[in-house]
Amino acid sequence: MRPFRSSQRLASHRALAMVAMAFPAANARHRPTCHRAHCPIELPRCRSNVDSQDNDKVIAHKESGIVTVADLLGKKIGYVKGTSAHFLLEILLVEHGLVPSRVEVVDIKPVDVPNALVNRHVDAIAIWEPYATQALELLHKRAVQLSPPGTYRATYNFVAMQDFIHKRQGCRSQTDGF
């Protein structure tokens, strides 16, 4: 690493370091270090805690005429804005050549999403467990899951600056070797 000549470059490199640290390989432990003489920033410690696959699903109501992702075009989809399910929905649409703005999205409270689909307030939903299973059980054979297994995998990480960890030694035992 080399010294930075401007605070803007330092900020951009810090952001890149945070992004690189926030998405490690599943269950890997990272203890980044740098030589203090050449590194103006303290790198965070990062640990992968939870890995989740197929927790989020896109489910449609067959009575809305939906059997494939392409059938979502022009339909109303219930979701929770800014969540992993929202991200999955957009990935699925783009992966199938659909422009996300060509579907109508409705931001709904998570607990209300399954019933919004059952009661036909929306044609499809993008939601996570346990609400996805709840919707599938309520609809029985009238449901079609549009997101195939393995479409989306999430890793949840614990990231903290080293000085934060050192100042809060009592919390350190709860992070098991962090």
Give residue-wise pLDDT tens across range 4-36: 444 444 344 444 444 444 443 433 344 444 444
**pTM (2 decimals)?**
0.64
Q: Delimit the domains of the chain by residue range.
A: 7-50+156-175, 55-151
Residue type, 142: R
Which class is domain 55-151? alpha beta
User: Tell me: the pLDDT tens digits for 88-123?
Assistant: 999 999 999 999 999 999 999 999 999 999 999 999
